[in-house]
Amino acid sequence: MPSQNCDERPADEPIQLVVIHAISLPPNEFGGPGIVQLFTNCLDPAAHPYFREIEGLRVSAHFLVRRDGELIQFVSCARRAWHAGASNWQGRENCNNFSIGIELEGCDQLPFEDVQYLTLNRVLAELRHRYPIAAVVGHSDIAPGRKTDPGPCFDWRRLRGAG
C-alpha cells in the first residue's frame, strides 16, 4: 500500500535502528480504515472529530501490524519513511535517516495481541538478516517527553533479540 510520505535516505546511511510505534485511529479504536487513510493522505477530516485535528499531517511508516497480525507495507525499506519526527538516538538526530518504522495498531491503555508479537518478531528477524540493526527501540525512547508509544502495555520481553 504505497505512501507518498517518504523520500530518499541520505547516501551511505546504513539502516541501524528499528523504531516501534503504536497507533489507533480514531484514538483507542481498532480495525477501521483510518490508519491506512492517514498514511496514504486520504483521511477524511469530516469522518471523525479527531481527524480534523490531524488534517494535513503527512506521516507514514514502513510497516503496520494490525490487531489480527496482518502486515501492511507502506514504504520501501530503501526509502526514508516519515515516522519518527524530531528524534535522537545515541546522539544522532533525525532517526528517520537510519531507521525502519513499524507501527502496531494499538494504544497506551490496552495490551497488544499475541499475533501482533508473532508478526513483529518475523519482521524483525527479516530486518536483522538484511540490515546491520543495532537496536530496537520505542518511539518514546527517541522522542522522550514528546511521544509515549508503544506505551506501557507493550511487552518488550516478547521480542526476540530486541537490541
The pTM of this model reads 0.96
93 is catalytic: no
- Taking the domain 6-158, which CATH number applies? 3.40.80.10
Active-site entry in 103, 105, 113, 126 = 103
pLDDT of 163? 46
The rounded Cα 57 to chain-centroid distance in angstroms is: 15
| pLDDT tens-digit readout, 13-69 | 999 999 999 999 999 999 999 999 999 999 999 999 999 999 999 999 999 999 999
The span from the CA of 77 to the CA of 100, in Å, is: 7
d(CA 123, CA 93): 25
pLDDT in tens, 80-135: 999 999 999 999 999 999 999 999 999 999 999 999 999 999 999 999 999 999 99
Q: What does the block give as the cell for 82?
A: 516519515
Give the containing element (helix H, strand E) for 34. Answer: helix 34-39
Q: Could you give the CA distance from residue 54 to residue 25 in angstroms, rounded to a whole number?
A: 11
Distances (CA, A) of 57 to 28, 62, 82: 19, 17, 11
DSSP character string of 90-151: TTEE-GGGGEEEEEEE--SSSPPPHHHHHHHHHHHHHHHHHS---EEEEHHHHSTTT--TT-
